[in-house]
Each structure stands twice: as structure tokens, then as C-alpha cells.
Structure 1
């Protein structure tokens, strides 16, 4: 935030926003590569293969499990296939 306040020029503020967006997308792509296709057990007992990773505006990263309807926060992964 301090960097954004110091950025008096619109170009500097835009560069900061682009940098942060790029960092978010880089982490999303890495999480997707690490999780999709791996077997997982969630804290509620749901188990299966991670089908997809999604970026939710309110809850952050969420995953879907093959054969189950819905999306769960990534923090609910209890065990993940090595």
C-alpha cells in the first residue's frame, strides 16, 4: 500500500498493479500444475482426483474433485498423493 501511495504518477501505479497481478497469476499456475491430477482427501472426508483449480474473489484458491459437485477451499486438503 505504501508503494501505491507514493506512486504519484499513474504509470508507476499501473506498473505496481501489473506486478502484483503477475505474481498472483504465477502462483495460480504453479498451484494448478502441482495439484491437478493428484489424489486428495479433504477434511470433510471427500476424496478423489483434483480436477481443477479456481481463483475465487472472496475465498482465494478453490479446487474441484472428480465425481463430486462443488468447489472446496485449498486449505481443506488433508492428504495429497505424493
Structure 2
């Protein structure tokens, strides 16, 4: 694949990103989680952030946190 033009690879890369986002949603949404800052609750939504990667929202808490801040998933 190194000899492919970037424009040809773009649709495949985009499809791979969306597939991985969907897999993360299926795995995380609805699960109880504890974040490293002590916030806890049910994961409500998973977002794709172009600067930080995957972020998630916790039901009952304002904001979006990087998935790297998940300490435990119950």
C-alpha cells in the first residue's frame, strides 16, 4: 500500500476510523465508569475529538473527558 496515492487511501482510513469509533461506542456506552479525577457514573456518549482522540461524557456530569482518564469500568 505505500505506493498508493494519499487521496486513494483517504476513504479507507476514514472508514477505519468510523469503524473503531462505533466499536468504542458499543463497548463503553451504558457501562459504569470511574475516572481518575473521581467522577463516576454511566458513560453516556463517546465522541471523536480531532485534537485528543476519543472523549466520553458521563451522565449527570457536564463535560467530556479523554478515554485515557478512565480508571475503572464496572
Could you say which TM-score interval applies, normalised by the shorter chain? over 0.9
Asked if 1:15 is matched to 2:36, the reply is no
Counterpart of 2:43 in structure 1 is 50
Count of matched residue pairs:
74
State the Cα distance separating 1:52 from its structure 2 match. Answer: 0.2
Following TM superposition, where does structure 1 have runs of at least 4 consecutive aligned residues deviating by more than 6 angstroms?
none
Counterpart of 1:30 in structure 2 is 23
State the Cα distance separating 1:14 from its structure 2 match. Answer: 2.6
Counterparts of 1:59-78 in structure 2, within 5 Å, are 59-78=52-71
Structure 2: stretches of 5+ with no match in the other structure:
none
Q: Choose between structure 1 and 2: higher helix proportion.
A: 1
Q: Distance in 2 between matches of 1:13 and 1:71?
A: 32
User: Could you list the per-position Cα deviations for residues 46-71 of structure 1 after superposition, in whole angstroms to 9, with x for gaps in the alignment?
Assistant: 00000000000100000000000000
Higher relative CO (Cα under 8 Å, sequence separation at least 6) belongs to 2
Larger Rg: 1
